Structure 1
């Protein structure tokens, strides 16, 4: 967690759950490095690194999403990759059935992660040592913001491939520059979602879609509680506008995008200030 770098604290929490490149050594992991890298939101933590300088807090995962995915439910267990049945209740998603759940069975479609099945114990360890602490830190930051300001805003930051792959609803289709998601209007005041989209479209002419092809993952669904004044959106940035997707290297446009994010964060600071009540006040509902 990177705390606020300014005395002008803001009830803003930004997280990047998929930007860690380091895959810990795991017995039987056979996925090639290039396949593992496609699952990384490369440079997203760097792109959003100025969050503390507008008064917000930035949380970045220090574990690879293929090891355990912070944007999946802890109940999203893929039984097909286990030596023995999971001992408690599960809620297996379509993603897990395709091998892209909490613990990945595939690094890419058709590219297996392991040459063996995992034990229940090692999966439980990944949940307790990595997944659960991530949510504890994220929730603590949101709780502190709400306790001080009566409300809080959260942005869950990701990157996406420029073309949808075989497992996505937009398979083979070119994607917009950004996708803003709010779990179809349930994770925040829809006016905030629209404000975010409008800034990127009006200020720089980016192509922006809302809730397609991404509607938002586990993080915004758990963090976003607009009736409790906790507003959460997910932002996916097209990798093709800032990096080479084949070599994973930054392109010349990286600095331009980073500067736009800096400006966006300052606009967001002003947006939040305009909606803040006196310190400690509780704001009933949202408009």
Structure 2
């Protein structure tokens, strides 16, 4: 079963989009609340937003299945990435709205969760690790760019409105200080989008696990407020808004090469 696509690039950059997938197998969807079957917490259109990255020579890894099947950006032991804060788990039981994903009594048990990890989670991470190793062998270094997006206001997860661009470096541990400084310079050099570094979203499991700057692998996460490139209510892509945002993202990615 094909659970992801991998485009192999020619530069040290790998763009990973672990929440871009929206498919839900029929047997799982049948046990979900009607609202959850639409996979509302998808990082909608992020692959389209980053489509220029291939022309830049980046490798691009995109899953097919929804985070509701299994969240590729959570650790397999499901330890919370943000202790003390509301979040969602490896096989989410609640949506970002705080409402249940599953019908009463239909949430997956430990055995089913383990099966989903093997079927969906592990192949993505094997491809991710393998591509990073290939890149590092060719170029002597690798850069992992974690591409994410989320509604600008999600009261269940954070107060108020999220900044437009949320850069995460796991508190400065997942990438080199030099790369972090270059990225900050780009963000500080533009005035269209509000931004923060290591704010509410410091980087998920992928950024934290694979970012090893001392071993030649830098990892950075960018969480984008979705209203900057799409309609948050009907989930439609807004090409003109997206084009302006893409120009800034391109400058950020150029810093990594």
Quickly name the TM-score band, shorter chain normalised. Answer: 0.7 to 0.9
**Pair 1:166 & 2:156 matched:** yes
1:157 pairs with 122, 147, 155, which one? 147
Structure 2, gaps ≥5 residues long: 1-5
1:44 pairs with 43, 46, 60, which one? 46
- Structure 1 residues 182 and 42, CA gap change in structure 2 (3 angstroms): same
1:1-287 aligned at under 5 Å gives the runs 1-4=6-9, 9-25=10-26, 26=28, 27-33=30-36, 36-37=39-40, 39-76=41-78, 91=79, 100-115=88-103, 116-168=106-158, 171=159, 173-203=160-190, 205-251=192-238, 252-265=240-253, 267-268=254-255, 272=257
Structure 1, gaps ≥5 residues long: 77-90, 273-287
The answer to which of 113-122 and 133-142 deviates more is: 113-122
Deviation at 1:254, TM superposition (A): 1.9
Q: What TM-score does the superposition give when structure 1 sets the normalisation length?
A: 0.79
Tell me the SS of whatever aligns to 2:218. strand
Does the 8 Å contact 1:35/1:108 carry over to 2?
Answer: no
Which structure has the greater CA radius of gyration?
A: 1
RMSD over aligned Cα atoms: 2.3
Aligned residues: 247
Tell me the SS of whatever aligns to 1:13. strand
Other-structure match for 2:3? none
Does the 8 Å contact 1:96/1:102 carry over to 2?
Answer: no
Deviation at 1:93, TM superposition (A): 5.8
- Structure 1 residues 166 and 120, CA gap change in structure 2 (3 angstroms): closer
Q: What TM-score does the superposition give when structure 2 sets the normalisation length?
A: 0.87
